[in-house]
Amino acid sequence: MEYTTTNKIGNSTVLSATFSADEVSTMRREATLAMAGKLRIPGFRPGKAPLSIVAKYVSDQELKDDVLQKAASQTYVAFLKEHKETDALIFEPELVDSVLEDDAAKGLKVDIRVFEMPKADHDLWSGVEVEDVPTDTTKAVERRIRALVDAVTETSPKDGPAAQGNSVTVTIATEKSQNPYHTEFTVGEGEVGKAYEPFLSGMNVGESKHFSVQMQESALEGDITLDGVAEKHVPEVNDEFARSVGAFDSLVELRKTLEEDEQHKADEARKDSIFSRAIESAAEKRGIDFPGYVRRNATQERLGEIKDSLARNGLSLNEYLKYNNISAEQLTQDVEADAVKMLQRDLLMEATERACGIVAGDGDIEAYVESHKEELAKAGIDTTTENGRRTIRNVIVWENTRSLIVGTVQLKEPSEAKQEVQ
């Protein structure tokens, strides 16, 4: 057998190997012998039937498939012996192409792909550039304060028509819905309140009106009935308000607490976004790919999770496809794309751990246990067992690797559009 390296594609190498007629004959014989041990042929004990008889029970396609697998494995082993310095090879070799003539005297030619652990060292990550994420928490804090205001706002029944700022309960019957539904909102506030304000303003309890509104890119038409209307007594946002919603001495203290909490969440969200963008960029830069069977297995596993989740909510996959107006083929393509991204992430994380020597010792584990007692208890992780400590070690290594990546990549200013969203 002779092979040559024909192409380098990302983290894979294509090898082209040729086998002589004698080598093909030997592989066919070995394949037939292996099958003879598994077959149950009348009149013979397993593995004792003559090969001429065994051949009658084995299809040419079965023999061909077995020979191709043997050829791929032999090529792979030969490559390993001559490239000991190659980074750890991963996965089984993937058969790309083959030519096996009917005339065995012409031999066999196979092309296979072998996959290597990508090089993900400090140099890789320092050469990756991703867009930064703004962390302005002003709007988030205001949303939190509005939610607190809503929580302590009192209402009283109102005699008279509904007006802007009133809390209303209504029954809505749309032309597309079989059953009316009841809901409550504030006239003129939020997307729903603003959409229905032209119809509700001036209405009295018990009255109904036909409406046509546009919300979330969906047009709704039907009848709305005013069931109740109440005036809202909104408290003034001051020190007294701060004391009424928690153990705060002043509005300044309340805002500071909310700002610190929102800043922490924003920082974590920023790290997650930078990490995801860095992984995607590095995967493209390194050309990270996987054998077909790895892709298929990951896709089927994810589809199985989706089916189980739907079943827990009383839905079948067909119903899900119908409601979302997508085909099974499109769903499979979308799921495969997501599954491959997860595979790329996990592979690059493992490669970075190896290249950068990221480990977690006993001292790291003890410190983590001490500072995360409540979270570990809620998660049901027994820190006294080897399995529990192994889980903690994996968490520490993962977080340290993630932090290394986020802290190493080059950041560029976020676009103006994304800053405005904050």
What confidence tier does 421 reach under pLDDT thresholds 50, 70, 90?
A: very low
Whether 128 and 263 map to the same domain: the answer is: yes
In a domain, 283, yes or no: no
Whether 148 and 206 map to the same domain: the answer is: no
Containing domain of residue 218, as a range?
154-233
In the chain, % of residues over pLDDT 90: 72
Residue 419 has pLDDT above 70, yes or no: no
Q: What is the pLDDT of residue 43?
A: 76
Residue 283 has pLDDT above 60, yes or no: yes
* Each residue's pLDDT tens digit, 160-173: 999 999 999 999 99
What's the CA gap between 361 and 378, in Å, rounded?
Answer: 24
Residue 45 has pLDDT above 90, yes or no: no
* Each residue's pLDDT tens digit, 13-43: 999 999 999 999 899 888 888 877 777 778 7
* Each residue's pLDDT tens digit, 242-265: 999 998 999 999 999 999 999 999
Q: What is the pLDDT of residue 417?
A: 46
Higher pLDDT residue, 84 or 410? 410
Residue 211, domain CATH: 3.10.50.30
Cα separations (Å) of 81 from 9, 75, 84, 370? 21, 10, 6, 47
Residue 247 identity (one-letter amino acid): A
Mean pLDDT for the stretch of residues 391-414: 96
In a domain, 240, yes or no: no
Whether 16 and 94 map to the same domain: the answer is: yes
Whether 418 and 297 map to the same domain: the answer is: no
* Each residue's pLDDT tens digit, 175-184: 877 789 999 9
Whether 53 and 179 map to the same domain: the answer is: no
Q: Distance between terminal CA atoms of the chain?
A: 62
Whether 70 and 138 map to the same domain: the answer is: no
* Each residue's pLDDT tens digit, 54-97: 777 778 888 888 899 999 999 998 988 887 766 667 888 899 98
Q: What is the pTM of this model?
A: 0.78
Residue 226 has pLDDT above 60, yes or no: yes
Whether 186 and 319 map to the same domain: the answer is: no
Could you tell me the sign of the dihedral formed by the alpha carbons of 245, 250, 251, 254, in that order? negative
Q: What is the pLDDT of residue 169?
A: 97
What's the CA gap between 373 and 258, in Å, rounded?
Answer: 25
Q: Are 76 and 93 in contact (CB under 8 A)?
A: yes
Q: Are 408 and 355 in contact (CB under 8 A)?
A: no
For the chain, the domain total comes to: 4
Q: What is the pLDDT of residue 60?
A: 82
